Amino acid sequence: MKNPLDILELIPDPEIPVINIVELGIVREAKVTGENSCEVTITPTYSACPAMFTIEEDIIKIMKQNGWETKVITKMFPIWTTDWLTDEAREKLRAYGITPPEKGADEHHIGKPKKCPRCGSENTKQISRFGSTLCKASYQCLDCLEPFDYFKCH
């Protein structure tokens, strides 16, 4: 049978389908507990993340299709942080038109210009603290004039 973590990499994030749930960092552990059983521990990006129910269903479905009986455990602590995004996820977000957060989500990034994912300019402004999903804010590049999402640090 395939390794559980390899299977989980096939599940795209429902809100940002360009990255998978492993790259996003919400899969904390995939532990084999028996010959064909495993436990998958996940942590939501936000405590009220509406995608978590879908993600849990997707995990159970794809694992069953691959011969695994799976128990999904949701842990709220430690709290998910954008530091858990893989480098691959950050590059995929940028290529998709979403500026990824810098590593080290702390105060020294607050107020720092966000780089436009299209032209690379830091001459940008925040349009709204709230984007198309809870984890994003809306920005506009003042050089190429394109709007873009910024994946918020937390």
- The domains found in the chain, sorted by start residue, are 4-74 (3.30.300.130), 85-151 (no CATH)
Instruction: Identify the DSSP state of 145.
Output: -
* Residue 24 three-state SS: coil
Q: If you compute the radius of gyration of the chain from its CA atoms, what whole number of angstroms results?
A: 17
**pTM of this structure:** 0.87
Residue 46: which pLDDT band, with cuts at 50, 70 and 90?
confident
What are the pLDDT digits (tens) for 3-44? 999 999 999 999 899 999 999 999 999 999 999 999 999 999
What are the pLDDT digits (tens) for 101-113? 887 755 455 668 8
Structure confidence at residue 89 (pLDDT): 97
Q: How many CB atoms lie within 10 A of CB 29?
A: 14
Chain centroid offset of residue 118 CA = 20
Query: Which of 54, 75, 66 shows the shortest CA–CA distance to 12?
Result: 54
The enclosing H or E element of 40 equals strand 37-42
Structure confidence at residue 105 (pLDDT): 57
Segment 87-109 mean pLDDT: 83
